[in-house]
Structure 1
Amino acid sequence: MSEPTTTGPLTQPHARATPSATAAAGGLAARAAGLDAADPLASVRDRFELVADEVYLDGNSLGPPTTRVMERLSDVVGREWGRLGIRSWDGSGWWTAPERIGDRVGALVGAAPGQVVVGDSTSVNVFKALVAAVRMAPEGRDEILVDAATFPTDGYIAESAARMTGCHVRPVPAAEIGAAAGERTAAALVNHVDYRSGRLHDLPSVTAALHAAGALAVWDLCHSAGALPVALDADGVDLAVGCTYKYLNGGPGSPAYLYVRRALQPRFDSPLPGWNSHADPFGMAPAYAPGDGAVRGRVGTPEILSLLALDTALDAWDGVAVADVRAKSLALTDFFLECVDALVPAGRVESVTPQEHAERGSQVSLRCHDAGEVMRVLLERGVIGDHRRPDILRFGFTPLYTRFADALQAARVLADVLEGTP
């Protein structure tokens, strides 16, 4: 969501485009058309419900619905719930949905089946993962490292987990976490992609450094899953969490997921032992006995309506290779930055997103004076991004439905808005 602003409307007249700017725009338009024509993912756009005449660049916050989700939910409500009722827990596969859909998410983050469960919120899953990581760490370790620029919830949860486990939290820049880990470090919680800047952190190297120090690695994949390749198994990640309403398009508030590396599952001691994760959930025993495998990450009754909406949303990935998504993501963000450089008045914005591909996620963040008001006008003009206080314009690029023509249109409107502001 864009942040509120107290400044007035942008009312100054727009500057007239110079011949050189007009020529640059024409060349960029031809480039965009050629890139879109050659795009191997172009047809995937038809799997999404998009608003005509809008450029939607906020999929890093909330993805749009897929074309089949309404039909699926109508069937779930009308038939599975309305006619079959409670019989759908078995007959319609509701009970096993968290693990079944977890395996579909796992395929997008490099996790073999049986290690991902879908359910609860990202915040709840961060809490489960971090407390469990500390409990699995070697004796005598009382330090949790946290990405100093982390999304606030992760920091709040880390502080709570530390209080519960007798640890203290030490904030460290994400790039320095591996080097900072020592003999007292139990675990580290790191964001794979920084939510403000779009900087991609080195998951394999940081994970290896944490392991060398005897600590566990917990990764937040909210801004990377569905946007770029993730190899949880191959890179030896211990635990990971992520949301499903961004690049996975599960819908507002769709349930998050939890990854627990198979080798750690017998030792995974959840701080939230609910009846759904019991070895015999319908035995109703007074004493808790954890189930086997990914089911240990469950707590209470699954969120069936949103789970099944997510299940349908994941159909958009049929036949799609994550490597193609990454290639298009980098090409889109490169092209958008080129368009901004060519069209936006000099000195009005500054990219805080890394130029290097190895350090870039799938968004572009621009520092801009009066960013809140600029984003308000962009929204009015059909370019949907968001604002992070105090001065960041964020534009998320989702390769499954974003075109190069969209990137050019967003830069054109941004230039037009900024030409009319001091």
Structure 2
Amino acid sequence: MTTVYLDHAATTPMLPAAVEALTDQLTAVGNPSSLHASGRHARRVVEESREQIAQALNCRPGEVVFTSGGTEADNLALKGIYWSRLRSSNRGPRILSTAIEHHAVLDPLHWLGQEEGAEVELLPVDTTGRLDVGALKSAIERNPDDVALISVMWANNEVGTIQPIDEVVELAGAHGIPVHTDAVQAVGAVPVDFAASGVDALTLTGHKVGGPFGVGALVVRRELEVTPLVHGGGQERDIRSGTIDTPAIAGFAAAVEASVKSQADHHVRLSALRDQLVERICAIVPDAIRNGDPAHLLPGHAHLRFPGCEGDSLLMLLDARGIECSTGSACNAGVPQASHVLLAMGCTDAEARGSLRFSLGHTSTQADVDALVEAIGPVVERARAAGARKGS
């Protein structure tokens, strides 16, 4: 049975350029911190990769700090900036974020609140999943000196809504408050310009842009002090110690470069496929409801609610037909609970449980959409029948 993969927001297949760059380095020997010829060769690969990423994102090479992925980069940004701000700036303990962040942000914030005395304020979003900028403004102006940092994701991983980062930066900048953004879903999908955005720290990861697992980066302005989480050899500006993975970094950089170069074409093609997917599904299932902000949306995200259905049932019925999608973040897979993103958008628990995310990527085709459209009618019927039997 042919697999129809519609879960690119969880991870996307590696790009050929990334595979080539990775495999070219797998048999090379040399620690990038060693001084001999092999070490210098490895260091050159790492620094050239750093320059590739910097050029793609319009930042300085020295602002790219390599990590093991998005979760580590988010933790480093939130904890490292918070600690530094409290120590060196005499700022207050408040951290402002949103209720729809990925758990790689929410869980460190929760930890900072429990263990470090941080006062975390999760700001509301509207029914499309877009930040209430007025609420952010009020939260800042209540006492700007108490705000250590602000963290707002560039685009939501579940519903695909793009956040008003420019407005966040403007409000924060007026009071000298640093802004971190988790841009894991945005890089390669929409234009991401670090310098022009005005953010102070930005998270990205390899496997979302067609690179390998286990590698990512925190792009952080040189002027911003960040307290390290890991201490050791002082690699990566002494912000993130540890021997860095030269092959993975080479593959990561190649993927970032390739995905950013093709972003405009990618956006046009995937937006058209996604809009067709939504339109055709809604024609077959007329009461299906689209989640997210159609005016500010990632090109590959289609998040739909199917009244009377359990999302887990829909997912497994589609999976049995070789169609792979998700009910939300892959990081919460196997946990039968309603999406915190949809609940924050005003959905009831039942509504949140009845949604599916179809996410398209660079390997998605018309045939994938056709297969989903062909399957969705019978699958929804079976899921509703199963729900009715369960209810009775």
Provide the TM-score with structure 2 as the length reference: 0.76
Alpha-carbon separation, structure 2, partners of 1:57 and 1:111: 32
- Give the number of the structure whose alpha-carbon radius of gyration is greater: 1
The one of 194, 198, 210 aligned to 1:249: 210
Any residues of structure 2 matched to 1:64-213 within 5 Å, and which? 64-67=13-16, 73-77=22-26, 79-81=27-29, 89-93=38-42, 95=43, 97-134=45-82, 135-136=84-85, 138-162=89-113, 166-173=117-124, 175-176=131-132, 178-179=136-137, 180-182=139-141, 183=144, 184-213=146-175
* Counterpart position of 1:49: none
**Aligned with 1:325 (options 258, 263, 266):** 266
Q: State the shift of 1:384 in Å.
A: 2.0
Aligned to 1:340, which of 281, 286, 311? 281
Q: Does structure 1 residue 275 correspond to structure 2 residue 233?
A: yes
Pick one of 219, 227, 245 that aligns with 1:303. 245
RMSD: 2.9
Distance 1:245 1:145 in 2: 28
Q: Tell me if the contact between 2:323 and 2:372 (Cα under 8 Å) persists in the aligned partners.
A: yes
Amino acid of the structure 2 residue aligned with 1:392: S
1:274 is displaced (CA, Å) by 3.3
Q: How big is each residue's C-alpha offset from its partner over 1:257-316, in whole Å with a ceiling of 9 and x where there is no partner?
A: 101124x25x34434343133xxxxxxxxxxxxxxxx63443211133433443454564
The residue that corresponds to 1:350 in the other structure is 289
- C-alpha distance in 2 between matches for 1:241 and 1:98: 18
Question: How many angstroms apart in 2 are the aligned matches of 1:88 and 1:194?
Answer: 44
Match of 1:275, SS? coil
**Whole-Å separation in 2 of the counterparts to 1:70 and 1:261:** 30
Report the Cα distance in structure 2 between the residues aligned to 1:337 and 1:359, rounded to whole angstroms: 13
Counterpart of 2:357? 394
Gaps of 5+ in 2: 126-130, 329-337, 339-352, 385-392
Measure, in 2, the Cα distance between the counterparts of 1:89 and 1:61.
Answer: 36
| In 1, Cα distance between equivalents of 2:108 and 2:183 | 16
Contact 1:81 1:88 in 2 (8 A): no
**Equivalents in 1 of 2:111, 2:48: separation in Å?**
31
Aligned residue for 1:181, secondary structure, equals helix
Q: Distance in 1 between matches of 2:164 and 2:150?
A: 14
Q: Partners of 1:106 and 1:381 in 2: how far apart?
A: 42
Q: Identity percentage over the alignment? A: 20
- The farther-off stretch of 101-110 and 327-336 is 101-110
In the TM superposition, what is the alpha-carbon distance from 1:407 to its structure 2 partner? 2.7
Q: How many residues align?
A: 341
- Structure 1: where are the runs of 5+ without partners? 1-51, 278-293
Structure 1 residue 204, shift from structure 2 partner: 1.0
For the residue of structure 1 that corresponds to 2:121, the secondary structure is strand
- For residues 129 and 274 of structure 1, the distance between their equivalents in structure 2, rounded to whole angstroms, comes to 18
Deviations 1:72-96 (A, max 9, x none): 555434x3149xxx86752542x35
The 10-residue stretch of structure 1 (365-374 or 102-111) with the greater mean CA deviation from structure 2 = 102-111
8 Å CA contact retained: 1:99, 1:116: no
d(CA) in 2 for partners of 1:237, 1:69: 27
Change (3 A) 1:164 1:241: farther
1:55-77 Cα distance to aligned partner (Å, 9 max, x none): 32211111113346666555434
Q: Per-residue displacement from partner, 1:110-161 (whole Å, max 9, x unpaired)?
A: 4343322222232222222123333247423210012112212311112334
